[in-house]
Amino acid sequence: MMNILIVGAGLSGAVLGRGLAQAGHKITVIDSRSHVAGNCHTERCPDTGVLVHVYGPHIFHTDDVQVWDYVNAHAHFKPYKNSVKSTVDGAVYSLPVNLHTINQFFGKTLRPDEARAFIEQTQADTSITDPQSFEEQALRFVGRDLYEAFFQGYTEKQWGCAPSALPASILKRLPLRFNYDDNYFAHKFQGMPEQGYTAMVESILDHPNIDVHLETPYTPAMAENADHLIWSGPLDAYFDHKLGRLGYRTLDFERFTDTGDWQGCAVMNYGNREVPYTRITEHKHFAPWESHEGTVCYREYARACGPDDIPYYPIRMVEEKTMLGEYEALAAQTEGVSFVGRLGTYRYLDMDVTIREALDLLPQLIARFE
Ligand SMILES: Cc1cc2nc3c(=O)[nH]c(=O)nc-3n(C[C@H](O)[C@H](O)[C@H](O)COP(=O)(O)OP(=O)(O)OC[C@H]3O[C@@H](n4cnc5c(N)ncnc54)[C@H](O)[C@@H]3O)c2cc1C
């Protein structure tokens, strides 16, 4: 039996802790926050009863059957379809860009084949053969008009830089559809845990070999009694930022409440640059099977992450990648520590990928500890 200290009670820490506890090890999980579940944390608003996604909306979607079975063993999932709308220049459109968006935007009544031909022949910039940036990728596939309406302003607000400075890979995730399918995700399984993600993570951590200590920031002295440390905090923070700070975007949420139905949908993007926020989320719509008089909304603003802010999205531009390589080299030389999760590896990871990676790491750790 090994004594294992896990820093971070998010999905990475919880899934690894559970697997190692089941293998007979003694697990201590600490988190500086007052709750488990990391950024997936959900809690009920005491005034309205609405289940709020405290660090921004989380929709579970995956093609991975084993991961889907895993989360369903710890929570009752309700079917949920993520349909996003976008307000641009005083009109509301459907996202991701689909046949409805195209017809409404260009004032047409095209059928699928006609729309495909219309975009390819009159909109897409076919002179771009090997798109290098986000902007080139968008111009190549959707053309300037749709790019400027739905991607340019939103992306500038989200990332704080011109889309021409961002890698093309970011847009590969946003499909262009020639039918009326407005399901944001194309995965086989999609849903919401009925009682929220925090209850799900509490269930994962509920094992006699696991002790959880909240409001407990890590100090190196804590590792002295541990045989192994699993670190799901920021990679650069483990090394006291001695090589510099890895760049992140952070989010500010301006919370407001009202009664009834404020915007009629869960997520409304704002494409225009002049609107300072990227989107408004109305949390009761993430649980359409519940009914509440009141409503809780978040206006979401993105900006550069300062030392005291919550790191949300790794920037991963050229400079950050160089620094990341140096931190990864340090991490590889650090014995007795595994760096995991979205912060520990400085990558954007969806929940299903986070769980997949933890499940894949488990047998390696278990074998090593034997
Ligand atoms: C705005 C936003 C929206 C998202 N939406 C979706 C979505 O719709 N669908 C989806 O699949 N994924 C989504 N994700 C991704 C999802 O949040 C991650 O996959 C998941 O949170 C990763 O879990 P983790 O355990 O690796 O990290 P985290 O959840 O960040 O957990 C790390 C934990 O470590 C703790 N910690 C850090 N440093 C210390 C320290 N020094 N001492 C003690 N504790 C420490 C932190 O407090 C935190 O609780 C979204 C992410 C963001 C930012």
| Residue 201 shares a structural domain with residue 340 | yes
Looking at residue 180, its pLDDT comes to 97
Residue whose CB lies within 8 A of the most ligand 1 atoms, among 18, 29, 39, for a mutation test? 39
User: Which residues sit with their C-beta closer than 6 Å to ligand 1?
Assistant: 7-13, 30-33, 38-40, 56-60, 217-218, 232-233, 237, 251, 312, 341-343, 349-352, 354
Q: Which string of DSSP letters, residue by residue, matches 124-160?
A: S-TT-SS--BHHHHHHHHT-HHHIIIIIIHHHHHHHS
| Residue 113 shares a structural domain with residue 212 | no
CA–CA separation, 302 and 298 (whole Å):
12
| Residue 332 shares a structural domain with residue 365 | yes
| Residue 167 shares a structural domain with residue 201 | no
What is the average pLDDT across 355-367? 98
Q: Which residue has the higher pLDDT, 174 or 52?
A: 52
Please report whether residue 287 resides in a domain.
no
Model pLDDT for residues 53-63, shown as the tens digit of each residue: 999 999 999 99
Overall residue count recorded for the chain in this entry: 370
Please report whether residue 340 resides in a domain.
yes
* Mean pLDDT of the residues in the chain: 95
Looking at residue 19, its pLDDT comes to 98
Percentage of residues of the chain with pLDDT beyond 90: 90
Band of pLDDT at residue 263, cut at 50, 70 and 90: very high
Please report whether residue 278 resides in a domain.
no
What is the average pLDDT across 84-101? 96
Band of pLDDT at residue 172, cut at 50, 70 and 90: low
CA–CA separation, 124 and 270 (whole Å):
23
Please report whether residue 247 resides in a domain.
no
Contact 181, 175 (CB under 8 A): no
Number of domains in the chain: 2
Can you give the CATH number for the domain in which 124 is found?
1.10.3110
| Residue 101 shares a structural domain with residue 160 | yes
CA–CA separation, 58 and 33 (whole Å):
18
What is the average pLDDT across 8-35? 98
Kindly tell me if the per-residue pLDDT of 169 is higher than 80.
no
Kindly tell me if the per-residue pLDDT of 170 is higher than 90.
no
Helices (H), 263-317: none
Contacts of 229 (CB under 8 A, 6+ apart): 4, 5, 6, 7, 223, 336, 337, 338
Looking at residue 165, its pLDDT comes to 87
| Residue 230 shares a structural domain with residue 328 | yes
Band of pLDDT at residue 321, cut at 50, 70 and 90: confident
Atom of ligand 1 nearest to the CA of 14: 25
Kindly tell me if the per-residue pLDDT of 16 is higher than 70.
yes
What is the average pLDDT across 354-362? 98
| Residue 207 shares a structural domain with residue 97 | no
State the distance from the centre of ligand 1 to the C-alpha of 12, rounded, in angstroms.
8
| Residue 160 shares a structural domain with residue 226 | no
| Residue 24 shares a structural domain with residue 140 | no
Can you give the CATH number for the domain in which 355 is found?
3.40.50.720
Q: Which residue range(s) make up the domain with 103?
A: 84-173
Looking at residue 148, its pLDDT comes to 95
Query: Burial level of 256, CB count in 10 A (0-12/13-18/19+)?
Result: exposed
| Residue 91 shares a structural domain with residue 131 | yes
Model pLDDT for residues 178-193, shown as the tens digit of each residue: 999 999 998 999 999 9
What is the average pLDDT across 334-361? 97
Please report whether residue 216 resides in a domain.
yes
Contact 283, 165 (CB under 8 A): no
State the distance from the centre of ligand 1 to the C-alpha of 10, rounded, in angstroms.
6
Kindly tell me if the per-residue pLDDT of 360 is higher than 90.
yes
What is the average pLDDT across 33-43? 98
Please report whether residue 14 resides in a domain.
yes
| Residue 219 shares a structural domain with residue 112 | no
Please report whether residue 297 resides in a domain.
no
Model pLDDT for residues 202-219, shown as the tens digit of each residue: 999 999 999 999 999 999
Please report whether residue 264 resides in a domain.
no
Contact 301, 291 (CB under 8 A): no
Q: Which of 154, 151, 157 is nearest to 137 (CA)?
A: 151
Out of 18, 279, 316, 342, the active site residue is 279
| Residue 140 shares a structural domain with residue 238 | no
Kindly tell me if the per-residue pLDDT of 100 is higher than 60.
yes
Looking at residue 341, its pLDDT comes to 98
Looking at residue 370, its pLDDT comes to 86
Kindly tell me if the per-residue pLDDT of 317 is higher than 90.
no
